[in-house]
């Protein structure tokens, strides 16, 4: 009887912890999904932000991305599939959120590749080989650099640009914008200025579909 009482008590304690955690998640999620103040909207996109898709697209997806983030690697091809299914109607704005220790060097590498017009091939190469250069969520810049060898990059220029104050300032601005927008994990998406109601690809797709539908109804 005593063992049964202990077991029931343990289960009850687990339920309390679970419910408490769920409440905390719900509260934090509600806070993060609050409407973005107009004064903060400028933080969604900067002049330096890389973009994919036409400037006049009716839907703009802003993504805060960490190249060492597994979920970012999973979402990337799905976002591109959405773009392919709606040609000319979706534009992606890329913002950096290098939250993993060591990711900042890899972001600097990607921005340096951008100066040689190889940002998107470099990003796709690194996302595809993420487990090679970031084992155990520990980014290794030298290993990441090896994954870009087939892109025809000028290595000396790449390394010099990686260390430039311009790229360091760009990354610092993205991180500051992430903080102002309450971005605490990656990937984080905003669709036409709206955050996802909750995290998941279906939620992202629904928000995009709603924006596309609204654009068709607008005269």
| Over residues 195-212, mean pLDDT | 96
What are the pLDDT digits (tens) for 126-140? 999 999 999 999 999
Candidates 172, 174, 184; CA nearest to 96 is: 174
What are the pLDDT digits (tens) for 27-57? 344 344 555 777 688 899 999 999 999 999 9
CATH number of the domain enclosing 172 = 3.40.30.10
At 217, the pLDDT band (50, 70, 90 cuts) reads confident
Top-confidence residue, 74 or 41: 74
Same domain? For 100 and 164 the reply is: yes
**Domain range for residue 121?**
38-217
Same domain? For 91 and 8 the reply is: no
Same domain? For 106 and 201 the reply is: yes
Q: What is the pLDDT of residue 33?
A: 54
Alpha carbon of 99 to those of 65, 170, 197: distances in Å? Answer: 9, 15, 22
What's the number of domains the chain is made of?
Answer: 2
Instruction: Give pTM, 2 decimals.
Output: 0.83
């Amino acid at each position: 009887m005593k063992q049964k009482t202990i077991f029931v008590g343990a289960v009850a304690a687990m339920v309390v912890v679970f419910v408490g955690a769920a409440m905390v998640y719900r509260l934090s999620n509600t806070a993060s999904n609050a409407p973005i103040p107009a004064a903060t909207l400028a933080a969604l996109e900067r002049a330096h932000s890389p973009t994919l898709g036409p400037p006049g697209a009716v839907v703009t997806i802003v993504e805060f991305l960490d190249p060492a983030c597994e979920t970012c690697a999973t979402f990337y091809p799905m976002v591109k599939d959405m773009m392919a299914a709606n040609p000319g109607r979706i534009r992606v704005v890329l913002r950096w959120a290098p939250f993993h220790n060591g990711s900042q060097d890899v972001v600097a590498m990607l921005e340096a590749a951008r100066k040689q017009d190889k940002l998107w091939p470099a990003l796709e190469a690194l996302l595809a080989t993420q487990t090679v250069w970031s084992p155990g969520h520990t980014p290794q810049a030298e290993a990441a650099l090896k994954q870009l060898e087939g892109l025809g990059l000028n290595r000396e220029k790449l390394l010099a640009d990686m260390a430039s104050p311009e790229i360091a300032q760009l990354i610092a601005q993205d991180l500051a914008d992430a903080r102002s927008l309450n971005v605490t994990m990656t990937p984080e998406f905003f669709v036409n200025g709206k955050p996802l109601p909750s995290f998941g690809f279906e939620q992202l797709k629904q928000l995009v579909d709603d924006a596309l539908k609204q654009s068709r109804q607008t005269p």
